[in-house]
Amino acid sequence: MTTEKKSKLKIKSVKEKEKQPTVKVSQPPDDEQYDNIKIPPDGGYGWVVLIACFLINMIIDGFLYAFGAISDDLKSHHKCQEWAVSLVISIACSCYLLSAPLASALCNKWGCRPIGMIGGLIAAVSVAASVFAPNIQLMWLLFGGIGGIGMGLVYLPSIVMVGYYFDEKRAIATGIVTAGTGIGSITFGPLSRFLFDRFGWKHGLLILAAILLNCVICCIFMQPLKAVRKRRILQPIELSDVANVANPTVTSPLLSEKQETDVNAKSPSTNHSHGHLDLCLSSTEKRSRTNSTASIKSRRSIKADDAIRPMYQEDILYPGDIHNLPEYKAQPDSSTYIQETTKVPEAKTPSRMKAFWDTFLSMTNIHVLNDNKMRIISLANICSMIGFYIPYLFIVKTAIYERNVTEKNAVYLLSIIGFSNTISRFTSGWITKIPYMSPLLVNNIGLTIAGVATLLVPLCSTYELLIAYCIVWGGAIAFHISLSPVIICELVGLEKFSSALGLVFLFRGISSLIAPPVMGAIRDFTSSFNIPFIISGISFLISALMHFMLMWMTRKEKSRSKKSEVQKAVDVKNTTV
């Protein structure tokens, strides 16, 4: 080939290149243009689910918190010491908390309804079987270990379903469901004592096991939602010498019924979804840049079966008002918020257990402890849980054996705690809306009051003073329990929220396993409940001190960020001048 022909071919090739667009944007196929998401109904059938979850909270927590009213019967039958009978409930509460990551992973893989039903059945059968245990050691295994895991498997779905069915009204729904804990404390203490006195401890515990079995019926109502199709938010990548910038997106109306039918015919069906709706967003503006190639597909689309898996939703365990979340404020509407906060990890190799391991590894991710604030939260929760179960376990016994209160009157102290606890749970959300009353501050005040009040229990020499203590402690500690998830989310962010909350549950479980039997051993050694209550009060105050440290750290960070923003503004102004 001559030099002249080579030159002509080269010129022709250059001209053809100039005719081509300067940025080549890869277009995804039709299925890749849509995400499948779930839209919570915020009412309707959701209220039925809410009632079921309320009953589960009432039964599970009420049963556990009433143990202090019936433990003497077990102690007398098995002829064991206080630490041994305390270990029964401590193992149950520990497994109940430690099973949270496992329960979450199982719910994400197989759904809340079957896991909750299995958990309720395990809890009821194991508690019933513990009646026939020949010694306290076997009761540790049946009532404590297996029963505690079963209760954890039914309790967590009841919390998950609130976030699953409610979005706009989640704060109200959470308040109603968690009030079941207080109602359970009010009713199960006197009820358990009545059953044990009337039918004997064995038949009484069998009746309580039958009540636990009702959780299986409640879980039947936990139906999965239908998948909803929504056009993906496609973010084109604009390459520049400095950074990559993504264009904003806007939403567009629903597709017609005809389009919906066509789409449903194309999309694969799943076990959980019954139909699809189509939501459509307008496509984003495409910008090009010379000699650059970009793709508008930043991640894989969300499939229908993944969309209805609860634990892929980042805020599924968040109990507060989602309108306060920065992630919600950053989106134009709630459906886009759900789309953006539904995160399905991509797998290098396909696995049938992917949904399980995604959640389990996320909720046991110890890397979140690299954050100093997360370390303090974990230590603070360990301290608070050292003292948390002591009033529930020992206040009735303190009244009977050290204050000469009748057993009939003493058992109502648990009901008083539950009543005060319920009121505080309902009002905690409103209190945090008062100016300067942040969730962290309200939590700290509650822990401080609970600590001081518990330190004063040895001085409560009359039944009336014990009533006053139960009112104060029950109301104050409720702020810590109900606001802890909100505080964790504020400190670590929504993206790390599930991991952080899972670790907090683990630390609480470890603390719950150790504290009650140790306190029981101290009582056996000293023949008094005074020292356990003093240690409990100190643990609350230490936890409050750590939470106040978190307040100082967050304020320092905000002050530092404000200074940096002001400095940047000054630098920009000086540059323009």
Both 128 and 204 in one domain: the answer is yes
* Closest by Cα among 246, 256, 251 to 282: 251
Both 491 and 419 in one domain: the answer is yes
Question: How far apart, in whole angstroms, are the C-alpha atoms of residue 51 and residue 374?
Answer: 34
Residue 378, CA distances (Å) to 106, 183, 214, 370, 383 in order? 24, 28, 34, 12, 9
Return the pLDDT at 188. 94
Above 60 in pLDDT, residue 243?
Answer: no
Both 408 and 485 in one domain: the answer is yes
| Final residue in a domain of this structure, among 223, 251, 274 | 223
Return the pLDDT at 577. 60
Domain-located, residue 574: no
Structural contact between residues 520 and 82, judged by C-beta atoms closer than 8 angstroms: yes
Q: What digits encode the pLDDT tens for the residues 248-268?
A: 333 333 333 333 333 333 333
Task: Assign residue 548 the CATH number of its domain.
Answer: 1.20.1250.20
Both 297 and 313 in one domain: the answer is yes
Residue 325, CA distances (Å) to 330, 341, 374 in order? 9, 11, 19
CA atoms within 13 A on the CB side of 467: 7
* Ranges 192-206, 246-260, 417-431: which has the least confidence: 246-260
Return the pLDDT at 234. 53
Both 208 and 242 in one domain: the answer is no
Domain-located, residue 575: no
| Final residue in a domain of this structure, among 223, 250, 274 | 223
Return the pLDDT at 26. 43
Question: How far apart, in whole angstroms, are the C-alpha atoms of residue 517 and residue 265?
Answer: 60
* Ranges 1-10, 310-319, 439-448: which has the least confidence: 1-10
User: What does DSSP assign to residue 28?
Assistant: P
Domain-located, residue 13: no
Above 90 in pLDDT, residue 426?
Answer: no
**How many percent of the chain have pLDDT more than 70?**
83
Question: How far apart, in whole angstroms, are the C-alpha atoms of residue 504 and residue 169?
Answer: 26
| Final residue in a domain of this structure, among 364, 398, 432 | 364
Helix (H, G, I), strand (E, B) or coil at 505: helix
Return the pLDDT at 233. 63
Mean pLDDT of 550-573: 80
Both 190 and 238 in one domain: the answer is no
Phi first, then psi: give them for residue 295, nearest 5 degrees.
-120, 140
Above 90 in pLDDT, residue 359?
Answer: yes
What are the tokens at 83?
A: 């630490």
Tokens 């069998």 belong to: 206
**How many percent of the chain have pLDDT more than 90?**
63
Domain-located, residue 409: yes
pLDDT band, very low/low/confident/very high, at 441 (cuts 50, 70, 90): very high
Above 50 in pLDDT, residue 276?
Answer: no
Structural contact between residues 442 and 479, judged by C-beta atoms closer than 8 angstroms: yes
Question: How far apart, in whole angstroms, are the C-alpha atoms of residue 390 and residue 403?
Answer: 17
Above 80 in pLDDT, residue 519?
Answer: yes
Structural contact between residues 234 and 111, judged by C-beta atoms closer than 8 angstroms: no
For 196-249, what is the HEC assignment? HHHHCHHHHHHHHHHHHHHHHHHHCCCCCCCEEEEECCCCCEECCCCCCEECCC
Mean pLDDT of 351-369: 92
Domain-located, residue 120: yes
Both 537 and 403 in one domain: the answer is yes
Contacts of 244 (CB under 8 A, 6+ apart): 237, 238
* Ranges 285-294, 429-438, 564-573: which has the least confidence: 285-294
Domain that holds residue 511: 365-557
Both 173 and 254 in one domain: the answer is no
pLDDT band, very low/low/confident/very high, at 205 (cuts 50, 70, 90): very high
Q: Is the dihedral of CA 181, 183, 189, 192 positive or negative?
A: negative
Backbone angle region of 43, left / alpha / beta, with phi > 0 → left and psi within -120 to 50 → alpha: left
Both 290 and 421 in one domain: the answer is no
Phi first, then psi: give them for residue 342, nearest 5 degrees.
-95, 105
Domain-located, residue 187: yes
pLDDT band, very low/low/confident/very high, at 157 (cuts 50, 70, 90): very high
Which amino acid, residue 525? F
Above 50 in pLDDT, residue 226?
Answer: yes
Question: How far apart, in whole angstroms, are the C-alpha atoms of residue 137 and residue 132?
Answer: 12
Above 60 in pLDDT, residue 505?
Answer: yes
Both 215 and 308 in one domain: the answer is no
Domain-located, residue 9: no
Neighbours of 245 (CB within 10 A): 12
What are the tokens at 504?
A: 């907090």
Q: Are strands 227-231 and 276-281 parallel, antiparallel or unpaired?
A: parallel
Which amino acid, residue 169? K
Return the pLDDT at 31. 63
Both 208 and 162 in one domain: the answer is yes
Return the pLDDT at 332. 84
Return the pLDDT at 335. 86
Helix (H, G, I), strand (E, B) or coil at 26: strand
Above 90 in pLDDT, residue 286?
Answer: no
Return the pLDDT at 16. 47
Structural contact between residues 73 and 201, judged by C-beta atoms closer than 8 angstroms: yes
Domain-located, residue 15: no
Q: Is the dihedral of CA 252, 258, 261, 265 positive or negative?
A: negative
DSSP E strands in 111-225: the ranges are none
Q: How many domains does the chain have?
A: 3
Return the pLDDT at 17. 43
Both 218 and 251 in one domain: the answer is no
Above 70 in pLDDT, residue 123?
Answer: yes
